[in-house]
Chains A and B, each alone.
Chain A
């Protein structure tokens, strides 16, 4: 019974304990491994203006990477991969203009 509840909890959108996005993000920021999101967004604002639709934090080979989806003026949907420690933009993918490019 406990197992089923735990499984259901894990599948539900916000996982409850330390393994969820926000707790990982906070832990990383507090540990100084990652820039605070506020700082990062302020830096991005200048070169990549737009409305932030979604933010994810991923760990790839021990490197923290922010994946940010932006809706830019003119209706362009842009996906940025940003080095979470330095704020450097690693990759910029544009989507949504080509209908067949939709996932």
Chain B
């Protein structure tokens, strides 16, 4: 199928060029034929005039033998041997023992016109093509003539002319016409190329527009397109809009669910604290916390899944990072941490939802701030299609053999600290939903280095 589909450009060009070649070759054939006919017609006409002259000048003696009259034939070519213009008179039919050509022009010299037998009705002119005395192509016109009384005899009068000049003219015309039509063909082919290039340019524009949508620079296809393409563009934008709408609805539903469950869970938790501590109240408190964790985690996941793969998403890194750093500064104000984001390349963007980026970065920063002794630093760079973000702290770090464990859901190394224990797991889940990943390493400052890799937007 792919091979059959081919290139639109090649199809258009192929059809145009094929038509062009057929048209030009046809024109060449037709015009050459026309010119040749015209030239040969002129040639025949002049030969017929000479034949008329011969017919008029021919006289017959008492024995019925023909002779050219006293005024002779008026053309110097009759006199010059092998001049290319000849006449000949012979009896019809040729008598046994008599020379075939009874009378010949001087130009024929030692040769005769060897004409095939022909049934001639009186007065009509017949044409033949034969070979002349020098081997040249000759056009012959002939007619038969009845000798006057008293001797009944019929004569065949013929005039021949060398076709070479006429044919040379035809050849020259054919060559010049061929070159002209060839040149015309080249120009028309160039015009067709230009036409196809101009005609298909909107497709290129559309492709670039689609690329921008895929890279997340644009939400829809923008710009004006030819009226043949505009419906397609409108339909495509319709699909994009519908997609966005579905995502919005899913997100709204997830948000609604979260809000709907938050209050009952909060009331349950409060109620469990108010009663005297018992096994039951502890159980309720624990399970509510588990329910809140699960809800939080599933909501983030649902949101990320819904937005995953939706084209046209782009979130600039810097504003999100700046606002998170401000929030962390306030949240952990009493610890006087040094929060640095000096090593962040400008203009970086994440190909996904702002909320998801906030979720991931927020979790990582919060974890880092909790573990850090004095400083947390953020680095971000672009690596091909990926956005790489490192969040380093100078805390105790995590031993290499334990790193894999903490990436699992709900595992907390330090049970004394509050928190869901889901933070890192949510980050990993979200990152993987976007096709990215999270790895842990030792930071230069000695603590933990969390390395987040996400799809970058152009």
Is there a chain B Cβ closer than 8 Å to A50's Cβ? no
Is there a chain A Cβ closer than 8 Å to B81's Cβ? yes
Chain A residues with CB below 8 A from B133, complex form: 37-38
* Closest residue on chain A to residue B83 by CB atoms: A52
Is there a chain B Cβ closer than 8 Å to A17's Cβ? yes
Q: Which residue numbers of B lie inside 8 Å of A, CB to CB?
A: 67-73, 78-82, 103-112, 133-135
Contact B78 A37 (CB under 8 A): no
Contact A55 B80 (CB under 8 A): yes
Is there a chain B Cβ closer than 8 Å to A16's Cβ? yes
Chain B residues with CB below 8 A from A52, complex form: 80-82
* Closest residue on chain A to residue B65 by CB atoms: A17
Contact of B108 among A9, A17, A22, A34 (CB under 8 A): A22
Q: Mark A32-48, 1 if CB is under 8 A from B, else 0.
A: 00101110010000000
State whether A22 and B106 are in contact (beta carbons under 8 Å apart), knowing that A12-B72, A14-B73, A38-B133 are contacts in the complex.
Answer: yes
State whether A53 and B80 are in contact (beta carbons under 8 Å apart), knowing that A9-B70, A14-B105, A22-B104 are contacts in the complex.
Answer: yes
Kindly provide the distance from the CB of A24 to the nearest chain B CB, expressed in whole angstroms. Answer: 9
Interface residues on A, range: 20 to 34
CA distance A9 to B60 in the complex (A): 12
Q: Which residue numbers of A lie inside 8 Å of B, CB to CB?
A: 5, 8-9, 12-14, 16-17, 20-23, 25-26, 28-29, 34, 36-38, 41, 52-55
Contact A37 B110 (CB under 8 A): yes
CA distance A28 to B109 in the complex (A): 11
Contact B70 A12 (CB under 8 A): yes
Chain A residues with CB below 8 A from B69, complex form: 12
Chain B residues with CB below 8 A from A8, complex form: 70
CA distance A52 to B109 in the complex (A): 14
Contact B110 A14 (CB under 8 A): no
State whether A36 and B110 are in contact (beta carbons under 8 Å apart), knowing that A14-B105, A22-B104, A52-B82 are contacts in the complex.
Answer: yes
* Closest residue on chain A to residue B78 by CB atoms: A14
Contact B106 A14 (CB under 8 A): yes
Contact B72 A22 (CB under 8 A): no
Chain B residues with CB below 8 A from A25, complex form: 109-110
CA distance A26 to B111 in the complex (A): 7
State whether A41 and B82 are in contact (beta carbons under 8 Å apart), knowing that A12-B70, A12-B71, A14-B73 are contacts in the complex.
Answer: yes
CA distance A54 to B80 in the complex (A): 6
Chain A residues with CB below 8 A from B108, complex form: 22
State whether A22 and B105 are in contact (beta carbons under 8 Å apart), knowing that A36-B110, A37-B81, A41-B82 are contacts in the complex.
Answer: yes
* Closest residue on chain A to residue B67 by CB atoms: A16
CA distance A25 to B134 in the complex (A): 16
Query: Can you offer 10 A-B residue contacts whose CB atoms are under 8 A?
Result: A14-B78, A14-B105, A22-B105, A22-B109, A36-B111, A38-B133, A38-B135, A41-B82, A52-B82, A55-B109
Kindly provide the distance from the CB of A72 to the nearest chain B CB, expressed in whole angstroms. Answer: 17
CA distance A28 to B73 in the complex (A): 25
Chain B residues with CB below 8 A from A17, complex form: 67
State whether A23 and B104 are in contact (beta carbons under 8 Å apart), knowing that A29-B110, A37-B81 are contacts in the complex.
Answer: yes
